[in-house]
Structure 1
């Protein structure tokens, strides 16, 4: 955190090169989040670039009350949501490059991991946009309920309710259609 504050101070005092440190630290995490929101690699890439421009322009508004990572996610996600509204964004299904996910060589294990990953991606893709975003922020980006509430600017109770509804919808889908996610169907 102190390192980030130093970079912010340097950027605000005119050292634009210091911004590269912020980009390098957050580019992969923001891209992963936005890719799961858009389901389109090119759109995700464009939105990440635009989000970093927004972050740069609004860097002087970071008040250090919350974590910088929460703040940067909020700026990026708000930018994406604005773009979705403006362009009536249509989410497109794409296959995630599973070669990066799987690192064991046993053929059966590789197959099962790929299949589980595909099924989970499909389950998440069936959720409404707001619930999908909360699932991704909670379980992919490992943000707390409070951070999610702060990030997308909804009450904490709404975060809990939407997360509960999203998991219930996913459990119901698994019960109805079957699949690998036995633990989901048992309500855990």
Structure 2
């Protein structure tokens, strides 16, 4: 955290090379989040690059009192939402690469985990954009309700309500399809 604050000070003082440290630290988690929003690797790469440009341009607006990562995500997600509105962005389905969201266990467990992950990705893609973003920020990026509210500029109650509605919709879809999700343990 202290190192990160130093990078920010260095960039603001004119050392553009220090920005590479910030990019290296956040490029993968930001890409993962935006990929789940867009469902298109090419669009996600473009949006991540554009988001880092926005962050760089707005770095002077970061007040250094709150979490830098939350501020960075807010700038990036706001940029994505603006682009979605401009282009009337349509979701495109992608397949999750084998083994990207699972750990090495038995072949049967790997199969179930992979199938569950793909199914969950498809279900989340059916949610409205605002609910989908909140689900991803909560369960993929593991942000708190308050951090999510700050990022998407809504109240804590709104975050809770949208999250509750999204999970309810997902449960209803699963129930309607006559299925359920198998409980699998996390690999640690």
Deviations 1:83-140 (A, max 9, x none): 1111111111111213222331532122111111111111111111100000000010
Indicate yes or no: 2:25 matched with 1:25: yes
Indicate yes or no: 2:72 matched with 1:72: yes
Indicate yes or no: 2:106 matched with 1:106: yes
Deviates more, 1:115-124 or 1:37-46: 115-124
Instruction: Give the length in aligned residue pairs.
Output: 183
Alignment of 1:163-178 (within 5 A): 163-178=163-178
Divergent runs of 4+, >3 A:
none
2:64 counterpart SS class:
coil
Instruction: Tell me, in whole angstroms, the C-alpha distance in 2 between the residues paired with 1:137 and 1:74.
Output: 11
Partner of 1:9: 9
Partner of 1:87: 87
The answer to which structure has the higher helix fraction is: 1
Instruction: Tell me, in whole angstroms, the C-alpha distance in 1 between the residues paired with 2:50 and 2:98.
Output: 26
- TM (normalized to structure 2)? 0.93
Partner of 2:153: 153
Instruction: Tell me, in whole angstroms, the C-alpha distance in 2 between the residues paired with 1:117 and 1:103.
Output: 12
Structure 1: state its 5+ residue gaps: 184-188
Instruction: Tell me, in whole angstroms, the C-alpha distance in 2 between the residues paired with 1:178 and 1:121.
Output: 18
Per the TM alignment, residue 182 of structure 1 is displaced from its structure 2 partner at its CA by 5.7
Deviations 1:2-58 (A, max 9, x none): 111100000111111110110011001100000010000000000000000000000
Partner of 2:127: 127
Instruction: Tell me, in whole angstroms, the C-alpha distance in 1 between the residues paired with 2:70 and 2:63.
Output: 12
Partner of 1:186: none
Instruction: Tell me, in whole angstroms, the C-alpha distance in 2 between the residues paired with 1:19 and 1:76.
Output: 16
